[in-house]
Structure 1
Amino acid sequence: MNGTRAAPARRSTAPGARTGTPSGGDSPSREVPADLRLVPPALAAWAAAALALGVSGTVASLGVAACAGSAGLLLARGRAGRTRGTARSTCAPFLATTAALTLLSAAAGGAVAALHAADLRRGPLPRLADEHARVTLELTVTGDPRRMRPRVHGAQQAPAALLFEAEATRVTARGPVGRATPSGRADSGGGVAREGGATGEGGPLTRTVRTPVLVIVRERDGQGTAKWLRLLPSTGLRLDAALLPPSRTGHGQDIAAVVRAHADGPPPVFRKASTAQRTAGSLRAGLREATEDLGGDARGLLPGLVVGDTSRLPPGLEAAFRTTDMTHLLAVSGANLTIMLAVLIGPPGTAHLAERRGLAPRLGISLRGTAALGALLTLAFVVVCRPEPSVIRAAACGLITLLALVTGRRRSLLPALAAAVLLLVLIDPWLALDFGFLLSVLATGALLTLAPRWSAALRHRGCNGRLAEALAAAGAAQTVCAPVVAVLAAHVSLVAVPCNLLAEFAVAPATVLGFAALAAAPFAMPLAKVAAWGASWPTEGIAALARTGADLPGAEISWPGDWGGALLLAVLLVAVVLLGTRFEPARRPWLCAACVLVLLIALTRPVPLVRPFTGWPPSDWRAVACDVGQGDALALAAGQDGTAVVVDAGPDPDAVDDCLRALDVSAVPLLVLTHFHADHVAGLPGVLKGREVGAIQTTSYEEPPGQAEFVHRTARESGVPVIGATAGERRRAGDLTWRALWPLPRTGPTGAQPEGANDASITLLFRARGMRLLLPGDLEPDAQRRLLTAYPRLPPVDVLKVAHHGSAYQYPPLLAQVRPRIALISAGADNPYGHPAPRTLTALRSAGALVRRTDRNGALAVTDTRIRGSAPQGDGAPAVVVQREERREEPRGQPPPAPPLPDG
């Protein structure tokens, strides 16, 4: 079991040879049962802490008292059993003691968690946050600033922002604090403002506190956040900011308030970071400098692999890591530390032997010296990667894995893991609600329990030893973590195991060379650059692997993002594992080949093979309104396989990319962006991703300017020309022809200056094999009126993309003139604007149009039934195929008048 050398009396073998395992541990057939005594106390403390953080203090206190009292009764009973000493009661005292320790651990976990929760709600800051107060805060940065992904809110894209964790140490709220009442006047809230009796009635409230907060800093007046990104933990800031109550989903479990501030200049620092943090910061900055000249993805990815610095990671690569479930490589994990310690100590099973390998024995360092050096390396790892909870967790899990490397004594590993969980939960009970902590423990537990058995089973079936270990490790970790990942991401990755398996071979050299660059940067930057250049090769390989896996059409499948979906996935995975244990590939090669074929089909999803099962997309689609949420994105087939004209890109690059990929669109001769609102242009990178785009056509009214600049910058970086639209121009792509109707030149009675970006929308009239389609962008009623004035003989159309997502702002005479047979509405489910408006739906139906909407039907495909050789539908109108049936009934009867809606 312990992998020691064979006794002299035995036949001479290499260390670990008798075990039959690479680690020197016993084979599964002779393995001593695992020691599980510490597992119940650890799980009990974990569960109790999680429950105590979600209930009131009274309930938590009652639970702690009940657990402690029950533990006392069990201990008393066990003592009495040992006093009697009867043979019948030999096991009873042991079981009673174990149960008592479990209950005591639960009581300790619940008590610590309840105290932390009470401390979080203590002081004035939570109440000030409930009142949305404006305050002056002194705070200490506790986490690295990181950029937030820009979000689209209707027509606008939120300005660039970053967030970081901090601890508020002093708060000053000036004047009466209150929230806006329905009448628009402020409620005084003076009770909160006067608490503490700071400086008299109505004066400022000043209190010294120690309260964790989340800080969100946004750009304003062109002031960037680049200098804020260089803030180091332990830095003291003084901010004038607004307080908000935390959301209890996502961030908000372990913070008392959200602090919203603006980057009006450099960070207002009143206390510099500590010496240790400045040292760590200089090392991280040195690594960034050493990787500055690297090309491709290595420049942003290598710092992420080494120290978790993802500040320069391309958004597309980050999305690819999420799709392939490789995001653990971008976070500081125990694997980083384990790799470095393995370089020091050597391969598994040899660290404690005379024949040990690694750098330590080559340098003549003794076992005790090696242990001390390993401890120093661990300390340096924590300092450089910042002593945040995630780093402490990674260090603990890394040391547990190190124990496996050094001793190969699996019997002691589960108790070590359980002890680490128990200790970490008691130190920081908020870890009980942290998904990262859960995934770390699950992955480490799988590597210690499932992976050795699966590896032995694979070797028994003839698999190479090293390949069996790698397959077992990747498969075990992914199997136990997949249900939790499904809750977090609402998807299941089909490429996670092969991508993580192949990445293992590149992670170690990239990490080792990356740490070498980190260590050399302060003393010899040229040497650091050489090490970084060497690390760039495996790093680029990891990036290419992630991008390739994510680009597969079937890389991920949607999955219910709740605990019911997690349970279902867990059951399925258990069933697959049980079937796999009985599967003999050598006896059923045809079945193995069939499974591989099915997997390849699921990953590549060839449209001709998938369509009979899904019904999507229809083979003869002429136009598709993509389901991109609250925004517009339409594809019109150009008569050639894989070619389509795209009108607008929606708000989300991933959504429009998924839609075009499902349609098998690989070439876009023209991408028309009707106007520069974010819900029409923010998805531009998704259209450009992996496709040949001939040109981008835009309106000349470049408002909002920030989003217009985004379009021009993105096009310039992709090498795609940007052209303008001229009313009256005619274009053709394959058998698709179209005419631009709007906007008119800014001369004459109908060409006046548009009142906003919506009224400057490019309006197109398409014709495809006899079918007419009108796409008016987001034209408002006045622009619709002027359009009808300019084109009084506008012909009836088969398909109308309803303007402005079906809002209440429509011009009824235009609807009466074009008399659409099909009305397509692109709107997001449960959007805050009320789109589509009930009266617009009524007007369309009254005009005889068949109304379909993306918020209920998903993507909408228009097909011309006359092309298929079958009988025309009704009077020859084209058909519309929906991706899914409506989830609820349409409202019946006359709807009430819709109130004016905000621009979205």
Structure 2
Amino acid sequence: MRSLSAWWAGALEHQAHRDARAPGRTWDLRLLPAALAAWAAGMLGTRLPLAQAALGAAACVVVLALLGAVLRVVLRAVADVVARGPAAGQPPSPRPPGHGAGRAGAAGGARADGRRNGPPRGSASWSALALAALAAAAVLLSAAADRPATGALGTVLTDGGTLTVTARVLDPPRPWSAPGPDAPAAGEDRTGVVLELALEEIVHEGHRERVETPATVFADGPAWAGLAPGARLTAVLRADGGQEAGTPVLRAAAPPGVLPAPERTAREDVRARFVVAAAGLGPDAAGLLPGMTFGERSGLDPELEQAMKDTGLTHLTAVSGSNCALVTALAGHAVLALGAGRRTCLLAGLGALGAFVALVGPDPSVLRAAVMGALGAAGLLTGRTALSLTTLAGAVVALLVVRPALAAEYGFVLSVLATAGIVVSARPLARLLGTRVPEVLGIAVAVPAAAQAWCAPVVVLLQPAVPVYSLPANVLAGPLVPLVTVCGLAGLLLLGLPGAPAALAEAALVPLTAGAAGTRLVAGTARLFAGAPAALAPWPDGPAGALLMAVPSAAFVLGVHVLDLRRRRPRPVSGTLRDGPAPPAPTEEDRRRAARRRRRRRAAVAVLALLLLAGPVLRAVLDARRGPPDWQALVCDVGQGDAVLLRTGPGRAVLVDTGPEPRALERCLQRGRVERLDLVVLTHAHADHTGGLPGALHRADVAELWYSTAAPGPPEQVHAAAPGTPVHRPAAGETRTLGDLRLTVLAPQGPAPRRRGPASSSEENDASLALRAELTGQDGTTVSWLLAGDLEEDGARALLRTAGPLADVDVLKLSHHGARNGGTDIIDAASPRLAVVSVGRDNDYGHPHPQILSHLARAGVPLLRTDEHGGVFLLREGDRLRAVPADR
């Protein structure tokens, strides 16, 4: 049996021979100007007013015609000069016999009449220029045609107003926040969700009109936050006016009315059965198996989703070119195995690709991959070689002509950049790595490295951080992707066959179980590297960060190509002859010593790599086995909002406020291993304190819910998000003992008086529940907390007049995220040993305010901030409080 070192040496020798025989790579750049022009036109066309977009398209056509006429005149003049031959008095240059006849048919050769064959010089550049101008004109015209500049929608977008729409939800709602009109002075924020709708029908001033237009809607309230993709609704929306370009941006004026779900289509039925089958194979398979098969990520665990984001593996759950290529190749090889010809195989592959796209949906990445595959197959059908860069450029032009808005979509941009990086830079990088590692390993490293280098400047715009372990994570997870995808596709095919659903579900479990094993390995890889030290390196955000990242990315790509060209350049054969005998050939013993040295070096590198990997693996295993510490309280990092867990027993706690976003709260409950919430307290009805309630209900069993508000009745999100859960509005003085926790309500003294119109922001803040919490440890000692919601100075004074000594506590949760309008009287009355504040990183409201920070410093009170420390466990050790980071 061959030793490992002998196999390694043989693999390197084989790679060196392959590399020496490989021809130099050239790229066909003729379609590249057209793709760049189409992209620029798409970026401009969706932002320019209608008249300017149409004028730009006409200008492209006019310029094209003028340049064509000028170039035609110049080329004809050049051709006439060439046809006249040498000047008078000069003998013709001698030619070998048969030169003209033998090459009369060659491109660029001389014909009998003295003119040249083939296209004239400059025709290639003229073709590229013509294609670029035509592509830009087509994209601009398409953008102008898609503009809702006429009809009721165009009128409302231009002049402002309200309209009633019937629409379908395209993407899950995403949280958003922005400073209020008086922020940061008052410190109040506006929060809600943003979602993409496909408008189907609009009603404006009594006129009904059918439309097919996507729109971006900003809304507030749990009814909007709970919408799922595919849901149909009616809603009243308003526009601010002045919108002449781009995707319509509307704001919700009222909660939506959800329409009855239409009868499920065959496509949706198959997908739903697949999701149900995957859910029974474990939590990792429930999220990753549908995602890696057809892009469905609704079941993905928030903690795993964050781990994949931190390790650069998010793209695995979005259908991309690799999935489309795999589907096409599998279908083509299946038909080929049955004895079909090349064209039949390609047509079968294209048919399978079309069915796959119909199943997945028109995601930008899928559209790009599908169009690129179709163009490549068409090239093969016509007998021409499919050049990847040309095919990619053609796909970009075709997609932008059909949908100009893709030019500004991050998914499409990243997909094209990743493909271009693989086409241009992966092969040179693999050749460089092939001199040190076997070919398979070199390709496994080169492909993700090239894609990441090209995409990095755009990625930092989405997430201003660098995933340090992205490359090794992709190298380890990459070989598992085909396994999971093939098994998922096999299960999907079985579930889609006509027949007995129960029997088909049983048959589909065989490939799905194998795919679930692959998803567990992918999830383990993500968690492993996400838990490693310094998994995310901070990076400047915005355009400055993108430009800063472009420098090392460009240097890396340029260095790879320069080194590859230098290594492949033929070495000079000239030299100096030296007198004397030739040096003696190395003996067998010399060769053995050199081989032993090489083996020792390789073994040292292997041991070093194993040690580097062993550290994160060991830490991840120990953290998983150890679990969270024996905490009393957990201050959750939920961004710009509040959420505090007070432990009542093993796996049980009381939650005070929920933060603005369900997934952030779910991650906090997961870190604390909380499975039951004995009580959920919503201190007041602002979204940064109530928006995460669906996450609490999804992640844990909720026994009871308390609320307070300045409105006469309970907040609508209470009934919308917690049907069947006991709901109570506690009064001041009410107490509740839950395990080791005793809660006392200190404020407000009573419900707000009835009023006309909604309560102001300040009135709602001052209606916050103020709670005194007493946590008793195993040694009988007690730690007291004061949690005062978003009380402003008036509300704090009212609290202190009635609370008396109950306001004196060990830990103070600063009211209103440390805003100035919370005042300092409550800090002086509480005289805490520790203060905590929950704020978002780089928030626009000035939280916590410098005046509050300086007052705490003068009082000698240490401060824990979630924007700086993340989530924090608070533990009691004797008479000391110890803080332990929760976000490990």
Q: Which of the five TM-score ranges fits, normalised by the shorter chain?
A: 0.5 to 0.7
Cross-structure match for 2:445 = 471
Tell me if structure 1 keeps the 8 A contact 2:289–2:484. Answer: yes
| Aligned equivalents of 2:606, 2:655: Cα separation in 1 | 42
Asked if the contact 1:828–1:855 (Cα under 8 Å) also holds between the matched residues in 2, the reply is yes
1:108 aligns with 2:103: no
Shift of 1:173: 1.4
Mapped partners of 1:556, 1:247: distance in 2: 41
Once residues 483 and 853 of structure 2 are traced to their aligned partners in structure 1, the CA distance between those partners, rounded to angstroms, is 64
Q: Which residue of 1 aligns with 2:756?
A: none
Find the partner of 2:769 among 760, 771, 776: 760
Give secondary structure in 1 for the equivalent of 2:203: strand
* 1:432 shift after superposition: 2.2
Kindly provide the amino acid, as one letter, of the partner of residue 236 in structure 2. A
Match of 1:546 among 523, 534, 547: 523
Q: CA deviation at 1:566?
A: 2.5
Secondary structure at 2:407's aligned position in 1? Answer: helix
Q: Give the whole-Å Cα distance in 2 for the aligned partners of 1:828 and 1:668.
A: 26
Distance 2:632 2:225 in 1: 46
The reply on whether 1:384 has 2:356 as its aligned counterpart is no
Taking a change above 3 Å as real, the CA distance of residues 443 and 803 of structure 1, as seen in their structure-2 partners, is: closer
**Structure 1 segment 72-151 matched on structure 2, within 5 A:** 73-74=70-71, 76-85=73-82, 96-119=122-145, 120-124=147-151, 125-129=153-157, 133-137=161-165, 145-149=170-174
Larger Rg: 2
| Alpha-carbon distance in structure 2 between the residues aligned to 1:300 and 1:880 | 33
How many angstroms apart in 2 are the aligned matches of 1:572 and 1:295?
A: 41
- Deviation of the 1:800 alpha carbon: 4.0
Structure 1 pair 160–880 and aligned structure 2 pair: CA distance change class (3 A): closer
Q: Is the 8 A contact 1:651 1:682 kept in 2?
A: yes
Residue 501 of structure 1 corresponds to 475
Q: Note the C-alpha offset of 1:317.
A: 4.2
Do the aligned residues in 2 keep the contact of 1:302 with 1:536 (CA within 8 Å)?
no
Distance 1:558 1:713 in 2: 42
Cα shift at 1:540: 4.9
Aligned partners of 1:632 and 1:679 also within 8 Å: yes
Match of 2:236 in 1: 241
Matching residue within 495, 498, 508 for 1:523: 498
Distance across 1 between alignment mates of 2:440 and 2:493: 31
Rounded to whole Å, the distance in 1 between the matches of 2:225 and 2:461 is 37
Task: Identify which of 348, 358, 369 aligns with 1:373.
Answer: 348
Q: Residues 787, 740 of structure 1: CA spacing in aligned structure 2 closer, same or farther, 3 A cutoff?
A: farther
Coordinate RMSD, CA, aligned: 6.3
For residues 84-483 of structure 1, the aligned pairs below 5 Å read 84-85=81-82, 96-119=122-145, 120-124=147-151, 125-129=153-157, 133-137=161-165, 145-149=170-174, 163-166=196-199, 171-174=202-205, 204-205=206-207, 211-213=213-215, 229=230, 239=234, 241-244=236-239, 253-255=246-248, 264-267=257-260, 278=265, 280-285=267-272, 287-288=274-275, 291=278, 293-345=280-332, 358-386=333-361, 390-399=365-374, 412-463=387-438, 465-483=439-457
Q: Distance in 2 between matches of 1:652 and 1:54?
A: 31
Q: Conserved in 2, the CA contact under 8 Å of 1:308 and 1:331?
A: yes
How far apart are the structure 2 equivalents of 1:111 and 1:645?
61
Q: 1:653 to 1:590 in 2, by over 3 A?
A: farther
Structure 1 residues 156-195: Cα deviation after superposition (integer angstroms, max 9, x where no partner) = 9989997443455xx4312xxxxxxxxxxxxxxxxxxxxx
Give the Å deviation of 1:378: 2.5
Distance in 2, Cα, partners of 1:624 & 1:219: 27
3-state SS of paired residue (2:519): helix
Contact 1:822 1:851 (C-alpha < 8 Å) held by counterparts: yes
Question: What letter matches 2:788 in structure 1?
Answer: G
Which of these residues, 805, 818, 822, is aligned with residue 817 of structure 2? 805
Identify the residue that residue 757 of structure 2 maps to in structure 1. none
Residue in structure 1 matched with residue 487 of structure 2 by the alignment: 513
SS of residue in 2 equivalent to 1:460 = coil
Aligned match of 1:629? 639
From 537, 550, 553, give the equivalent of 1:557: 537
Instruction: Say whether the 8 Å CA contact 1:495–1:549 is kept in structure 2.
Output: no
Correspondence for 1:569: 549
Change (3 A) 1:102 1:386: same
- Aligned mates of 1:260, 1:301 — CA distance in 2: 37
1:123 to partner: Cα distance: 0.6
- Once the two structures are TM-superposed, the CA of residue 472 in structure 1 deviates from its matched residue by 2.3
Task: Identify which of 439, 464, 471 aligns with 1:490.
Answer: 464
Instruction: Give the letter for the 1:437 counterpart.
Output: F
Q: Secondary structure at the match of 2:478?
A: helix
Is the CA contact (8 Å cut-off) linking 1:726 and 1:740 kept in structure 2? no
Partners in 1 of 2:251 and 2:815 — Cα distance? 38
C-alpha contact (below 8 Å) 1:219/1:225 kept by paired residues: no
Query: Under a length normalisation based on structure 2, what TM-score does the superposition of the two structures give?
Result: 0.66
Q: Contact 2:786 / 2:807 at 8 angstroms: preserved in 1?
A: no
- Between structures 1 and 2, the one with greater helix share: 2
Q: Distance in 2 between matches of 1:366 and 1:767?
A: 78
Equivalent-residue separation in structure 2 for 1:495 and 1:854 (angstroms) = 28
1:743 match: secondary structure? strand
**Aligned mates of 1:605, 1:782 — CA distance in 2:** 49
Deviation at 1:129, TM superposition (A): 3.6
Q: 1:537 aligns with which of 514, 517, 520?
A: 514
Distance 2:35 2:224 in 1: 51
In the aligned structure 1, how far is the partner of 2:860 from the partner of 2:189?
31
Residues 333 and 21 (structure 1), Cα distance of their counterparts in 2 relative to 1, 3 Å cut: farther
SS of residue matched to 1:742: strand
CA distance in 2, matches of 1:602, 1:94: 63
8 Å contact 2:28–2:387 — kept in the other structure? Answer: yes
Q: Secondary structure at the match of 1:492?
A: strand
**What does the per-residue CA deviation read over 1:433-469, in whole Å, with 9 as the maximum and x for residues that have no partner?**
2222222222222333322333333333132x33333
CA distance in 2, matches of 1:118, 1:650: 42
What is the number of equivalent residue pairs in this alignment? 756
Secondary structure in structure 1 of the residue aligned to 2:322: helix
TM superposition shift of 1:28: 7.2
Cα deviation, residue 401, structure 1: 7.4
The whole-number CA distance in structure 2 between the counterparts of 1:320 and 1:779 is 32
CA distance in 2, matches of 1:818, 1:316: 36
SS in 2 for 1:415: helix
Offset at 1:395?
0.8
Tell me the distance in 2 between the aligned counterparts of 1:657 and 1:292. 18
Q: Is the 8 A contact 2:35 2:135 kept in 1?
A: no
Distance 2:809 2:845 in 1: 27
Name the TM-score, length of structure 1 as normaliser: 0.65
- Label 1:319 to 1:244 Cα distance change in 2 as closer, same or farther (>3 A): farther
| Alpha-carbon contact 1:211-1:256 (below 8 Å) kept | no
Question: How far apart, CA to CA, are the structure 2 residues paired with 1:802 and 1:486?
Answer: 33
Q: Structure 1: which amino acid aligns with 2:514?
A: W
Question: Contact between 1:776 and 1:803, CA under 8 Å: does it hold in 2?
Answer: yes
Shift of 1:485: 1.9
1:595-744 equivalences in 2 (<5 Å) = 628-632=638-642, 650-652=659-661, 675=682, 679=688, 727=735, 742-743=744-745
**Offset of residue 377 of structure 1:** 1.9
Q: What secondary structure does 1:395 align onto? A: helix
Check whether the contact 1:517–1:529 (CA below 8 A) recurs between aligned residues. no
Contact 2:389 2:420 in 1 (8 A): yes
CA distance in 2, matches of 1:35, 1:122: 39
Unmatched segments (≥5 aa) in structure 1: 1-16, 175-203, 232-236, 346-357, 607-620, 639-643, 717-724, 733-738, 745-749, 869-876, 883-904
Higher relative contact order (CA 8 A, sep 6+): 2
